[in-house]
Amino acid sequence: MLDNKKIKLGIAPIGWTNDDLPELGGENTFEQCISEMALAGFTGTEIGNKYPKDPEILKHALELRGMEVCNCWFSTFFTTKPEEETIEAFKAQLDFLHKMGAKVIGCSEQGRGIQGQALPIFGKDKPVFTKEEWKKLCDGMNKLGKIAEEKGMKCSLHHHMGTGIQTPEEIDVFMEGTNENVYLLFDSGHIYFSEGTQEAVDALIEKYIHRIAHIHLKDVRKVKRDETIQNNMSFLDAVKNGTFTVPGDGDVSFDHIFEVMSQNNYTGYMLVEAEQDPAKANPFEYALKARSFIREKTGI
């Protein structure tokens, strides 16, 4: 069982309104989203495209429902753009999150990333970084780690399908090339989607648990992953096809994840994230399903 004094539970708005596919959940409002999150029993959220940009307005809306912001996506472009562009944008995002009381910022290196493009996610177009690109990326992330640390926050890297940091080997290169104050955002769904095995999921959290600052609990339907490969689908088409779902509704086992968290005194958020079509997978219903599964498995 996990310690509810050390671990908080959140859920991402992507099940209600999808940032990359605005047509998914376009009818769902910000107020509906956070109200249903709270009603389902979650206290944390990441930030979606319909959330107010004014921190005071956003904070007030969340506090009314007993909620808070725990993390937000941030795109880095160290491999393809001048370093200073990413650093300045990072500082602005960090300031916003700091005002919101968040402790973590989740980065994703989007240089040459293909997850938003109409390209096969398992095809030849996936970025593979050169030695020079790895150096730019790691040097840049080390600077972000220091900037975040100065604000009492943690800078993390979200390994993600269609990016240059997707596979276990690529994650290893990144972790070895960055300082201890640069953390990993562990995502159960993305590592399973990438590798197709439970062993890859379990090995990744076990290897880096002491440098994991944030956890995404995401499930994968194996049959849909197989269809993605067989039909040369893009990442977004795979999402629309139902590849991802909430914990307990797919083929990923979360037992070892929860065990490793417990044994290593993980402290922070674990956040349910499952981008689905809300017209097919009612977000409130699936939020309740995830909450019930986590309670059953962890006691939280």
- Segment 218-231 mean pLDDT: 98
- Give tens-digit pLDDT for 182-207: 999 999 999 999 999 999 999 999 99
Residue 213 amino acid letter: A
Instruction: Say how far apart CA 300 and CA 291 lie, in whole Å.
Output: 9
Q: In angstroms, how far is CA 62 from the centroid of its own chain? A: 20
- Segment 98-105 mean pLDDT: 98
* Conformational region of residue 234, where left means phi above 0, alpha means psi within -120 to 50, and beta covers everything else: beta
Cβ burial 98-136 (10 Å sphere, 16+ → b, else e): bebebbbbbbbbbbbbbbeeebbbbeeebbebeeebbeb
- Give tens-digit pLDDT for 148-183: 999 999 999 999 999 999 999 999 999 999 999 999
pLDDT at 22 over 90: no
Does residue 268 contact residue 183 with C-beta atoms inside 8 Å?
Answer: no
pLDDT at 23 over 90: no
Both tokens assigned to 264: 């290593």
The mean-pLDDT minimum among 16-30, 39-53, 227-241 falls in 16-30
pLDDT at 1 over 90: no
- Position 123 scores a pLDDT of 96
Domains of the chain: 7-298 (3.20.20.150)
Say whether pTM exceeds 0.75: yes
